């Protein structure tokens, strides 16, 4: 089992160790057909891509696509989920440079509003140590994911449910309706085998990505083949894998 298109990779434009050119060079070396550069969305004060860099990244990627005909290079952004209403931190001025958009939940972002600090960000932290909050937080987070899919044209949800517990059944159903791919991210252990088993009841697609932050990790599936085997999911449902 091998990744053909690594759809989730980071570079020095957020907190990756290597440049776009170095990641692409490595992608060619390991025989990737395609690579997507997806650095973090702007609302992360440390990791977020600076607004002014999107044009630069686009130009670098266009030049590399001109230079190489053995690999396709795409620009995306791993936007942050920043509000209970499904807000993500991508604006038109950035989106226009991207080939497609992914979204995931991370710590340390600026919430969409003051209210979201109290109704969204803090409850997600608190539910980790206060189990009685978990049910309400899961219901809220599930609504958030569904609203996000309704509001934005997202191709992929990265590490679904990581740091933000969800009802995977409801999210998978909505993802199938909206044509959104759910990621099997072995770096974060979401989706895991149990979650895939539930999600695959719906006609949703999956992708396995490395979430590489350096050339050494590019295309690395870690435990994903075992996870896929344990879930019993047909490989044809994973969009970026070959035998
Ligand atoms: Zn992420
Ligand atoms: Zn990532």
Give the ligand whose atoms come closest to the C-alpha of residue 163: 1
Dihedrals φ, ψ of 185, to 5°?
Answer: -110, 100
Distance between CA atoms of 86 and 149, rounded to whole angstroms? 8
Give the ligand whose atoms come closest to the C-alpha of residue 158: 1
Beta bridge partners of 3: 241
Ligand 2 center–CA 12 separation, angstroms: 13
Ligand 2 center–CA 230 separation, angstroms: 24
Ligand 2 center–CA 113 separation, angstroms: 23
In our burial notation (b when 16+ CB lie closer than 10 A, e otherwise), range 74-94 reads bbbbbbbbbbbbbbbbbeeeb
pLDDT in tens, 153-206: 999 999 999 999 999 999 999 999 999 999 999 999 999 999 999 999 999 999
Domains of the chain (ranges, CATH numbers): 2-242 (3.20.20.140)
Going from the first residue of the chain to its last (243 residues), give the mean pLDDT of each consecutive group of 10, the final group possibly shorter: 97 96 98 98 90 96 98 98 97 96 93 95 94 96 98 98 96 98 96 98 98 98 97 97 94
Distance between CA atoms of 23 and 47, rounded to whole angstroms? 18
Give the ligand whose atoms come closest to the C-alpha of residue 9: 2
Ligand 2 center–CA 211 separation, angstroms: 5
Give the ligand whose atoms come closest to the C-alpha of residue 80: 1
Residue 5, classed as helix, strand or coil, is strand
pLDDT in tens, 36-51: 999 999 998 888 999 9
State the pairing for strand pair 181-184/241-242.
unpaired
Give the ligand whose atoms come closest to the C-alpha of residue 81: 1
Ligand 2 center–CA 231 separation, angstroms: 23
Residue 20: per-residue pLDDT = 98
Residue 238 φ/ψ region, left for φ over 0, alpha for ψ in the -120 to 50 degree band, beta for the rest:
beta
Question: Among 90, 79, 85, 73, which Cα is nearest to 22's?
Answer: 73
Distance between CA atoms of 239 and 213, rounded to whole angstroms? 22
Ligand 2 center–CA 137 separation, angstroms: 23
Ligand 1 center–CA 238 separation, angstroms: 19
Give the ligand whose atoms come closest to the C-alpha of residue 103: 1
């Amino acid at each position: 089992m091998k990744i053909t298109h690594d759809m989730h990779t980071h570079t020095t434009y957020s907190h990756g160790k290597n440049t776009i050119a170095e990641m692409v060079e490595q992608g060619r070396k390991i025989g990737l057909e395609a690579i997507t550069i997806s650095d973090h969305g702007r609302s992360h004060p440390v990791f977020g891509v600076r607004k002014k860099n999107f044009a630069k990244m686009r130009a670098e990627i266009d030049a590399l696509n001109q230079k190489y005909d053995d690999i396709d290079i795409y620009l995306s952004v791993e936007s942050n989920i920043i509000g209970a209403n499904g807000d993500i931190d991508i604006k038109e001025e950035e989106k226009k440079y991207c080939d497609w958009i992914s979204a995931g939940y991370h710590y340390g972002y600026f919430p969409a509003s003051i209210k979201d600090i109290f109704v969204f960000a803090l409850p997600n932290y608190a539910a980790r140590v206060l189990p009685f909050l978990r049910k309400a937080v899961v219901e809220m987070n599930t609504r958030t994911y569904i609203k996000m899919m309704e509001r934005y044209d997202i191709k992929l949800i990265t590490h679904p449910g990581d740091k933000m517990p969800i009802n995977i059944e409801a999210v998978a159903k909505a993802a199938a309706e909206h044509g959104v791919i759910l990621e099997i991210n072995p770096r974060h252990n979401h989706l895991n085998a149990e979650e895939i088993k539930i999600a695959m009841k719906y006609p949703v697609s999956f992708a396995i990505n490395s979430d590489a932050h350096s050339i050494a990790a590019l295309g690395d599936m870690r435990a994903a083949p075992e996870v896929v085997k344990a879930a019993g999911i047909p490989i044809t449902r994973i969009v970026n894998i070959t035998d």
